[in-house]
Each structure stands twice: as C-alpha cells, then as structure tokens.
Amino acid sequence: MNTTFDRYLISRYLQIFLILFVSVFGLYVVIDGFSNVDEFQEHAAGALEEVAFAISAGVDFVAEMQERGLSVDRITESVSFSFAMGPEFFIQIAKLRAFRLVWAKAFVIGLEMITLDGWQ
C-alpha cells in the first residue's frame, strides 16, 4: 500500500544513490589515472614516455574540467602527479625538472587558448 509520497521518497532516494555512485566512481577513475603514472615505468617506458603521458593526461583533465565550468584555481588545486624513480639518479632528476617546465608551459598556453576562444 504505497502512497504517492512513499513512491516519491523512493524515487528521490534512488536518484541520490545513483548520483553518489557515479560521483564516487568518477573520482576513483581520476585519482587512479593520476596516481598510477609510475605504472608506465614498470612496463618499460622511459623517462620521456612517462613525461609525455603525464602531460597528455594533465591537459585532457584540465580541458574536461574547464568544459564542466570549474575555475582555474579549483583545477590547479586538484591536479597532482606522481612518478616512479629508477636507479639512474640524474636522469630521474632531469625527468622531474623537464616535466615541471613543460607542464608550466602547457598550462599557460592552454589557458591562453581558452581565454582567446572565449571559454572563460
């Protein structure tokens, strides 16, 4: 003997549960994607490939968040990278320095293009 109000509550509960499930799953995918950059080194990728993948994934993430309407400050707070370190100490330092420089340039160029296109 379900009343209209009971059916309404059940439907709202299911909607909220679905939204929560999709949000948690999306958060898991983003965190898993950005925290497992070191898997590429384990699969015989060199320093260059690691940096290239990280830059590509970062640019895709920033573009997607811009399309969803997030501010640049909010995006920069949520982006983080981790890299695996191999036994070649100086090559690993060079990899991190190169990534830092290329990421800064890619982010600035991307923001300039977004501003020129009128997205902000």
Asked whether the predicted pLDDT for residue 26 surpasses 80, the reply is no
Place of tokens 């999306």: 26
pLDDT in tens, 34-62: 656 666 555 556 777 778 888 888 888 88
The pair of three-digit structure tokens given for residue 49, joined into one six-digit string: 């490939």
The reported pLDDT for the residue numbered 98 is 87
Sequence-separated (6 or more) residues with CB below 8 Å from residue 86: 41, 92
Do 57 and 33 touch, CB atoms closer than 8 A? Answer: yes
Mean pLDDT to the nearest integer, 65-80 = 80
Place of tokens 């330092």: 93
Cα-only R_g, the chain = 20
CB-based burial of residue 47 (10 Å sphere; 0-12 exposed, 13-18 middle, 19+ buried)? buried
| Ordered DSSP codes for 38-78 | THHHHTT--HHHHHHHHHHHHHHHHHHHHHTT--HHHHHHH
The reported pLDDT for the residue numbered 85 is 78
Looking at per-residue pLDDT, the higher value among 91 and 27 belongs to 91
Domain positions in the chain are 36-117
What backbone torsions phi and psi does residue 59 show, to the nearest 5 degrees? Answer: -65, -40
